[in-house]
Structures are given as structure tokens and as C-alpha cells.
Amino acid sequence: MLDQLREYMLGPTRFMNVLSCFELGIIDELRRNPGSTAVELGAVVGARPDAVEQLLHLPVKDGLVAYDVETGTYLLDGLAAVGDEDLHRVLAIMNATKMVVLRQSFYLTESVRTATTVGLKTLYGHDGNLYEALEEHRDLRDAWATMMDTVTAHIDPWFFDNIDIPPGSKVLDLAGNTGLGAILAYRLTSAPNVHVTTFDLPEKQAECLMNFKAADLEQHCSFIGGDAFHAVPKGFDVVLIKHFVDMFDKNQVLTVLRNAYQALNPGGTLHILGPVYSENLEESYGADFFPTYFLGCTMGQGGPQKLSTYRRWLQSCGFSVTKAIAQDLAEMPADALVAHGILSATKFA
């Protein structure tokens, strides 16, 4: 157990040590000039050779970089075998972890006690959640959006491949933000005569309608303003809830699910997309990441659940669950932290 506790202790320094080797340009320089000394590396990246030596101890120890004692030179070892796409994805996640998590997580305990994001308040003077802070703070937005691009690039196509939107459906994208989800839904659905309505807070309306116009989809997409926790519009054949239920505690999720039930016509179907924990938590790296991310850095509440938990919650709201599937981490790149899940559930006619 003490060796396990030691591993926790070393997490923050290992993280920043390795990331800093990339940030300083040491890794790029070793790719260009294998066999560089600490003096040569320091001159190129603008750091003292003593500091370069210190920072390369861990990458050498862990096999990312090799060190030749005779010549005092470094070259890429394990990192040489990591492809560009993989490295781009890993660095996007590491940078987002630095920007969104590292300092903010300092305030995790206080954030849990107050159910607010104390780190965003303290470091950015921001009252509210991360998603609101992204709009005001470019450093957060750039880091977060770059990460999300790498995480979600394959997620929406996978979602629409796995759900059924019948021809002529009236679709509601619940908490659909500024309409990008509606546009994707319209485009990735092969069914004819589908109409998609984005439902979100009224202040999203102007930007949402601009997005529909820019996509030339004003005939097929529309916007309704409101609050998903209060009342939602009715009369839909399909309701989509994407990247939303993981952000809230159980009672709030249940409120949204009940409102989605009200929004559906009899026989209509709700489809949920979001990160999920594996049924066996030991297979889930999400459990190592999301609690601190959501409670301390993002929402002050929330966190993903297992598919079986979402299934139970849906049933308690009157739904009949027809599908519950999750990505298999074993088939994803070895650095993947997040498995997404899809739940489909029908309101009986």
C-alpha cells in the first residue's frame, strides 16, 4: 500500500516534468538532431544545460529518451516509435490537463464542499462552470477545444451510426448549445424530411440561428429557448442528449430525463451520448480522471456513471431501454482515458 501511495505523490511532478520537455522543445530538437548533448539542447531551447540534464532524468528512466554515458548524448527511445497522430492527441490531452486541471484541482476539497468550481473563481475570478469560463478565457478555451477535437472527432459519427432516426422525424437536441449538434444530426442522418430543433438557454439563440444560416439549414433546423431543468417543448419523435448527463448529479439528471420523457410523443425515443465508466471500474481510466475533473475543475458536481446506472435511472423515469452500448477501451489507443456510451430508450405508445 505504501508503494501505491508513493505513486500518487509522484503524479504531479512526473506529469509536468515530461510535458515541460515537450513545451521547451527538447523532444522536437532530439527528433531533428539525435545524439545532442545537454549543452547543445540547452543552447537551442533556451535553457541551462544543468536544467536540461535534470529534466531528462525521468524520460531516460522511463525509456522515452535514451542517454549514452560515454558521449553524454541523448536520443529519442520509446518516443521515436510514437506516430504524429498519436503524439498530437496525447499532447492535446496533457495540455488540457495542465490548463484545466493542474492548478484548479488544488481546490478540489473546497469545490466538493461548496459544489462550485473554487479553482476557476480563485485563478480566473470566474463565478460559474468551466463551459461558461471557456467563453471568456481564451487560454482555457484553446486548450480544452483542442483536446475535445481529438476526443470527439470519431464520437458523433459513431453515435449516429448506432441510433435510428426514422424518416420525417421531429428531433429535439436537448441542451444543444449553439446548434452544431443539430447540424451534425441533420447531416449524419440519412433519413429524409427530418427536422431538428436545438433547445438551450435563450441567450444561445442568436448564435445558433447564425450557425444554421451559415450551414444553409434554416429550413431544417430551428431553435427554442428554455431551461432543460424546468420545462421542455413537447411533440417530438426523437430526443437527443449529448455530452450533458455526465455533468450533473443524480437528481438533476433524473429531472432532465423526466423532461425528455415529456418532450417525446408516445412511441418516441431518447438517445443519450456521453462518457461512461466500465461496469468493472478496474477497466476504467475514467475513474482516475473524471471525479477530479468534474468536481474540482469543471462543474463542482457531476461525473459519468456506468451504463447499468443510467439504465436504472431511465427505467425509473418510465423509459424502456432498448440499447446500452459502450466503446471498448481495449480496442482504443493505449492512452485513451474515456469510453463513451450510447443509451436508447423508448416512451411506450
Does residue 79 bind a second copy (CB under 8 A)?
A: yes
* Shortest CB 87 distance to a second copy, Å: 9
Q: Which cell numbers hold the place of 210?
A: 447564425
Asked if 328 and 130 touch (Cβ cutoff 8 Å), the reply is no
| Alpha carbon of residue 256 to chain centroid | 20
- Of 245, 79, 88, 239, nearest to 151 by C-alpha is 88
> Nearest distance from residue 287's CB to a second copy, in Å?
4
Q: Is 337 a residue that touches a second copy (CB under 8 A)?
A: yes
| Binds a second copy by CB under 8 A, chosen from 71, 81, 138, 266 | 81
Q: How far is the CB of 201 from a second copy (least distance, A)?
A: 23
Which of 17, 37, 205, 255 forms a contact with a second copy (CB under 8 A)? 17
Q: How far is CA 145 from the centre of its chain?
A: 9
| Nearest CA-CA partner of 163 in 277, 317, 278, 324 | 324
From the list 32, 54, 218, 312, which residue makes contact with a second copy (rule: CB under 8 A)?
54
Binding flag, residue 1, a second copy (CB under 8 A): yes
Number of residues that bind a second copy (CB under 8 A): 82
Are residues 130 and 247 in contact, defined by beta-carbon separation less than 8 angstroms?
no
Q: Which residues, 231 to 250, sit near a second copy by CB under 8 A?
A: 249-250
How are beta strands 36-37 and 73-76 bridged, if at all? antiparallel
Q: Residue 298, class by beta-carbon neighbours within 10 Å (0-12 exposed, 13-18 middle, 19+ buried)?
A: buried
CA distance 100 to 109: 16
Between 236 and 290, name the residue whose CB sits nearer to a second copy. 290
Segment near a second copy (CB under 8 A), from 8-16, 28-36, 226-234, 254-262? 8-16
Work out how close the CB of 117 gets to a second copy at its nearest, in angstroms, rounded to a whole number. Answer: 13
Q: What is the DSSP letter of 115?
A: T
AA identity, residue 223: F
Neighbouring CB atoms inside 10 A of 292's CB total 17
Of these, 34, 63, 125, 202, which contacts a second copy (CB under 8 A)? Answer: 63
Report the residue number, 54 or 320, with the smaller CB distance to a second copy: 54
How far apart are the C-alpha atoms of 3 and 9, rounded to whole Å?
10
Give the residue among 123, 81, 86 at the shortest CA–CA distance from 102.
123
* Residue of 43, 44, 51, 224 interacting with a second copy (CB under 8 A): 51
**Nine-digit cell at 280?**
468493472
From 20-28, 197-205, 222-230, 338-346, span contacting a second copy (CB under 8 A): 20-28
Encoded one letter per residue, x for contact with a second copy by CB under 8 A and - for no contact, window 284-303 reads xx-xxxxxxxxxx----xxx
Give the SS3 label for residue 124.
Answer: helix
Residue pointed to by grid coordinates 437528481: 251
Shorter beta-carbon distance to a second copy: residue 32 or 61: 61
Nearer to a second copy by Cβ, of 41 and 196: the residue is 41
Pick out residues in 252-281 that bind a second copy (CB under 8 A): 277, 281
Q: Which of 31, 34, 35, 50 binds a second copy (CB under 8 A)?
A: 50
Stretch that binds a second copy, among 44-52, 163-171, 173-181, 212-220 (CB under 8 A): 44-52
Return the C-alpha cell found at 15: 506529469
Q: How far apart are CA 339 and CA 323, in angstroms?
A: 16
Residues 175-194, mask of contacts with a second copy (x by CB under 8 A): --------------------
Footprint of a second copy on residues 96-115 (CB under 8 A)?
97-98, 101-103, 105-106, 108-109, 112-113, 115
